[in-house]
Amino acid sequence: MAYLLATNGLDRGQAYELVLGDNVIGRDADCDVHLNLPSVSRKHVRLIADDPHFTISELDSANGTKINGHQLTNPVSLQPGDVIKIADLEFSFVLKLPNITENVSGSNRTDFQPAAELSVLQRRSELLAQVRAFFCDHGFDEVETPALSIDTVVDRHLSPLSVVIHDETYWLQTSPEFHMKRLLAVGMNAIYQITRAFRNDEKGPYHNLEFTMLEWYRTSWSTDDAITFLGSLVTTILSTGAHQVFSYQQAFMTALEIDPLEDSTAKLLRCIAGLDFQPPENWRSMDRDGWLDLLFTEYVQPTLGLDVPTILVDYPLSQAALARQNPDNPKVADRFELFFHGVELANGYHELLDVQELRRRNERSNQQREQDGQPRLPQESYLDTAMQSGLPDCCGVALGFDRLVMLATGVPDISKVIAFPFDRA
Amino acid sequence: MATYKTNDFRKGLRVEINGEPYMMVEMNFVKPGKGNAFYKCKMRNLLRNTILDRTYKGGDSLESADVEEVGCQYLYKQGDTFYFMNNVDFDQYELSADQVGDYWKYLTEGMKCQTVLWNENPITLTPPNHVELKVEYCEPGAKGDTATSVTKPVTVETGAEILCPAFIEIGNVIKVDTRTGDYIERVNHK
């Protein structure tokens, strides 16, 4: 059938499907095409679809209708591509919706404009300046490291993107971690950067394939120092009350009355089976961390940081990534994450220094990737060499800057805080 | 049959689950930075219009459903079967009284409708939002009943009863909203 494709205003890109027969367009809720704007009359204009004939006629609207720039007075027959202006809203009359492949190959792209409001982009610029001032005040040096590297983080659940250059495979960074640790290994001791990271297959209200990461490291910090600094950064930038700290274990006990560290697998399974939600059909074939992730995303995370930023500490050792084991409690890692309004904003480690342990974890991640049907990733790396030469005791934190902008502006979709999100990059 | 992997998931995808066709109407990607990816989906059953909530994990897949929307026109009814013809290739479709549901009230010969084909068989029917129907029988309205608040049932050419204002008479043509079954206005044909 035919569509009216909005080409300006907030609805830009929205397609209104026409039905056979009568289509009344107007502000009344019972109109076939409902345009809820004060400048649009209750019943503004009528479009009769008698495929392949389409006729448009005026319904005594206050602000009138223009077809290809001409005021509509007598009924007009529409042709595909005609521009219909209803009060101040512009539409293109099309028989077929443009699909993505056509958009890429054709020269007729309609979405050249940014996805974010200009006021949001200006706020984003202010936030960048505020963040830089905060780090400057705390004695950090801003560094810049390559986005494209011969190394990549070996993580079970990350899909890095590769680029082949002169027959050699390079990786777009999933975080600047390796390069920044190489700088610590040669004597820098308080560094931060604001850079781009890339993670394939991640798209949603909180994920864009290419995103901006704020990452920092400081030597000789205790885990508590790093947690306090993170809390102070976020509460300052977002002007909130003081942050709270809970353990991963406490958060599960509060939300679900189960102990993620001590309870048996059988108890975990009974908990999932007894909850009123639809887990993936094959959820029983996941592992303990998979079940914890499932419960966490469904029942724990949405309750975190509703009033003030909340930092979860002491993650299970099996989810340590590159954090060191806690020296007092061998079941947990010195890893912490900050949540605000249920959004995961930052992830930090008291960094792993033991290169043998790094190699064991890389090997385990690669084995799990193979089980999941994912390719193995290279384990040999400059990080390995840097750690052999001696990485100083340090803490590091990565924060999703786009999500910080979302929280600061109240915009609920990451693609609306980025000038050009991936689908129009 | 094609298979959709989780990274193909998006709104509007037509998929088959337990042997029935569904349309994905919502898709939400959830993933802890260092954890498993989940895809929270809402799917509308195209046969029964019910909503199914499902969560998938990264790497799961769904079978595609061969579902297509086509324009057709109503031909006639025989027994409990309604016959339609494709506007373009003149294929004929049969829909049962169950599939047509309450829409029989609005079907007049030659009316242009839309139908959803699943594996080339019609499964649902959508009539135009507004249809014009001729009044075949009604009780006369009392004199002076010009207010639209007073209603009476009238029988239209399809045999259906529609509630109309009291001033409607036999032979009038009325416009009806097929989504609500409500009378909209009397049509004055020039």
State phi, psi for A408 to the nearest 5 degrees. Answer: -75, -30
- Per-residue pLDDT, B56: 94
- Per-residue pLDDT, B147: 60
Q: Tens-of-pLDDT digits for all 425 residues of chain A?
A: 788 888 877 677 778 888 888 899 998 888 888 888 888 889 899 998 887 788 898 888 888 898 888 888 888 888 888 889 998 888 889 888 765 444 344 455 667 889 999 999 999 999 999 999 999 999 999 999 999 999 999 999 999 999 999 999 999 999 999 999 999 999 999 999 999 999 999 999 999 999 999 999 999 999 999 999 999 999 999 999 999 999 999 999 999 999 999 999 999 999 999 998 889 988 988 999 999 999 999 999 999 999 999 999 999 999 999 999 999 999 999 999 999 999 999 999 999 999 999 999 999 999 999 999 999 999 999 999 999 999 999 999 999 999 999 999 999 999 999 999 998 89
**Are the CB atoms for B6 and B59 separated by under 8 Å?**
yes
3-state DSSP call for residue A421?
coil
| Average confidence (pLDDT) over B140-147 | 66
So what's the ipTM on this one?
Answer: 0.72
Helix A288-295, helix A248-256: angle, nearest 10: 60
Residue of chain B with shortest Cα separation from A321: B34
Contact B54 A21 (CB under 8 A): no
| Average confidence (pLDDT) over B133-142 | 87
- Per-residue pLDDT, A21: 83
Nearest-neighbour CA in chain B from A326: distance (Å): 18
Contact A290 B57 (CB under 8 A): yes
Contact B129 A22 (CB under 8 A): yes
Helix ranges, A296-394 (H)? 355-371, 382-390
- What does the alpha-carbon distance between residue B42 and residue B40 come to, in Å, rounded to a whole number? 7
List, for residues A81-104, the tens digit of each pLDDT value: 888 999 888 888 988 876 544 434
Q: Measured between alpha carbons, how far is residue A405 from residues A192, A200, A237, B107 in Å?
A: 18, 22, 10, 54
Contact A157 B34 (CB under 8 A): yes
Residue of chain A with shortest Cα separation from B17: A281
Contact A204 B30 (CB under 8 A): yes
Model confidence at B62: pLDDT above 70: yes
Amino acid at A281: E
- Per-residue pLDDT, A108: 55
List, for residues A215-228, the tens digit of each pLDDT value: 999 999 999 999 99
Q: Measured between alpha carbons, how far is residue A409 from residues A101, A260, A288 in Å?
A: 33, 34, 37
> And the tokens for A389?
């030469």
- Per-residue pLDDT, A104: 41
Residue from the list B6, B33, B54 with its beta carbon closest to the beta carbon of A344: B33
Residue from the list A204, A290, A347 with its beta carbon closest to the beta carbon of B36: A290
**Are the CB atoms for A261 and A238 separated by under 8 Å?**
no
Nearest-neighbour CA in chain B from A39: distance (Å): 25
User: Which chain A residues touch B if contact means CB-CB below 8 Å?
Assistant: 1, 19-23, 30, 32, 50-51, 155, 157, 201-207, 277-283, 286, 289-290, 293-294, 296-297, 301, 319, 321, 337, 344, 347, 372-373, 398, 400
- What does the alpha-carbon distance between residue B121 and residue B68 come to, in Å, rounded to a whole number? 10
Contact B87 A282 (CB under 8 A): no
Contact A50 B60 (CB under 8 A): no
| Chain A contact set for B36 (CB, 8 A) | 157, 286, 289-290, 293-294
